[in-house]
Chains A and B, each alone.
Chain A
């Protein structure tokens, strides 16, 4: 049996500061089964991006461990099965869209005809074929977001990690991303999806986890978490405000 796509096991991250350690993540326990779309929610500063950065090896955990398909995230090989779309679409502006994809593909072990074929396919998938040979410096923000998504898809990863994938996209772009995410799940792959767009999360996610102040405050199937007649957005506000209340009251 394939191990869990993602496992956070008592994960803790602290940043040292002059006023004492800042707790970014506190004893995080999350498991994401393969073949699911998992929504990772939380207000700004909740620790979503920090958790993703641990998963990708940019940060090391202070305590606990994180693994991807059973492989420790500190191993380079763990990233072979991951495609990552960062929150900010930062790409090499001196390269063309096609060159960027070929570079990303090469780093993932693709080469020759397979690489050309995959680059063409993902360009088509994100609707950038016409602009493929233009420098990225001339792209709009939405186009840069799409080329960034394409580089995450190039090697057909088993796990797609998307950090705010629809930020900066117009409604057509959002629809495109939603379609790609659904297609990915239909092919038995896993999508780990961090977003502030709760309506979108409600539409596409099989499970969600809500994070506040570095801790998990709710986890489960979206429509089971919310009370009857309650929207995910209302539930989110309720749990996040409840989490913040004791801390505010104590001040």
Chain B
């Protein structure tokens, strides 16, 4: 555990000293301000629409940060040559992967909280008061979903370079978010082995849509029950664990040779 925390600490420190996260927070605030000042939103409740747009941006920015940070870590170690210093230490590759994931996820969580804070601040300034308990659950579930995304980006980056890992993870995430919830429609329109295949696919793939509580907050519904909330957190933890296990299987026997890595 000590090694995991040491690796995670360095990941966090390195990202905290880079500009990307701060730039995204400032960009989000600027976008919110621009939308608010343009007065183009419906007159019935511009504050609510502004919060809706803010949450949508927050949701996507969280994804972008999670995929960018997750997919950059291992390829970054390889392209900078620091992987050789790390693996020369008594550090197990599983510890390295978990440390990288923990550090990347903590970084992503910090950025995401900042995004939510900006979105909330702009909502409060326009007179919208979202239900606090539901909003807290929404933030936490968003961060749990980003744990899955970060683990997925790390798993993909064990075998691909940064750019390829980002592209593949974005494609997979969009497919999961947009196509997986639609699979039941395919199931009812087909029969036999095709329906069974769609059903198996539906249950085998992670459901990122389950973590999305934006509508609930925007429409002023109360929080979900504690049991449901904990089940969703557990679901996210299991998926993050499965993806990290896949990453370990791909990484544990990987050969490293400097000239080939830097080609």
Task: Place the interface of chain B in its size category.
Answer: 20 to 34
Q: Are B257 and A58 in contact (CB under 8 A)?
A: yes
Can you give 27 A-B contacts (C-beta < 8 A)?
A57-B87, A58-B84, A58-B87, A58-B88, A60-B255, A76-B91, A79-B91, A80-B90, A82-B88, A86-B81, A86-B84, A86-B258, A87-B258, A88-B81, A88-B258, A92-B14, A92-B82, A94-B14, A94-B18, A95-B13, A106-B3, A106-B6, A107-B6, A107-B90, A107-B91, A108-B90, A151-B85
Q: Does chain B have a CB within 8 A of A56?
A: yes
- Does B92 have its Cβ within 8 Å of any Cβ on chain A? yes
Contact A90 B85 (CB under 8 A): yes
- Contact B90 A84, beta carbon cutoff 8 Å: no
Question: What 0/1 pattern do residues 190 to 227 of B give for CB contact below 8 A with A?
Answer: 00000000000000000000000000000000000000
Query: Considering the complex, which residues of chain B in the window 1-40 have a beta carbon less than 8 Å from any beta carbon of chain A?
Result: 2-3, 6-7, 9-10, 13-14, 17-18
Residue count of chain A within 8 Å CB distance of chain B: 34
Q: How far is the CB of A74 from chain B (nearest CB, A)?
A: 10
Q: Is the CB of B81 within 8 A of A106?
A: no
- Indicate if A116 sits at the interface (CB-CB under 8 A): no
> Which residues 27-50 in A have Cβ within 8 Å of B in the complex?
49-50
The 8 Å CB contact of A90, one of B6, B82, B89, is B82
Smallest CB-CB separation from B253: which chain A residue? Answer: A60
Q: Is B60 an interface residue (CB 8 A)?
A: no
Tell whether, in the assembled complex, residue A50 and residue B257 are in contact, meaning their CB atoms are under 8 Å apart.
Answer: yes
The reply on A235 being an interface residue by CB < 8 A is no
Once A50-B257, A92-B14, A106-B2 are accepted as A-B contacts, the answer to whether A79 and B85 lie under 8 Å apart by CB is no
Nearest Cβ on chain A to B259's Cβ, whole angstroms: 9
Besides the contacts A58-B87, A99-B13, what 15 more A-B pairs have beta carbons closer than 8 Å?
A15-B257, A53-B256, A56-B88, A58-B84, A59-B256, A60-B255, A76-B91, A79-B88, A82-B88, A86-B85, A90-B81, A91-B82, A95-B14, A108-B89, A148-B85
Option from B13, B17, B80, B90 in Cβ contact (under 8 Å) with A79: B90
Residue numbers of A with Cβ under 8 A of B are: 15, 49-50, 53, 56-60, 76-77, 79-80, 82, 84, 86-88, 90-95, 99, 103-104, 106-109, 111, 148, 151
Measured in the bound complex, the distance between the Cα atoms of B245 and A24 in whole Å is 32
User: Whole-angstrom distance from the CB of A45 to the nearest CB of chain B?
Assistant: 10
Q: Which residues of A contact B258 (CB under 8 A)?
A: 49, 53, 86-88
B220-245 contacts to A, CB under 8 A, are none
Contacts A90-B84, A92-B82: A79 and B89 contacting too (C-beta < 8 A)?
A: yes
Within the complex, the shortest CB–CB distance from B4 to chain A, in Å, comes to 10
Assembled-state Cα–Cα distance A58/B82 (Å): 12
Task: Give B73-100 interface residues, CB cut-off 8 Å to A.
Answer: 80-82, 84-92
Q: Are A104 and B85 in contact (CB under 8 A)?
A: yes
For the complex formed, measure the closest distance between the CB of A243 and the CB atoms of chain B, giving whole angstroms. Answer: 22
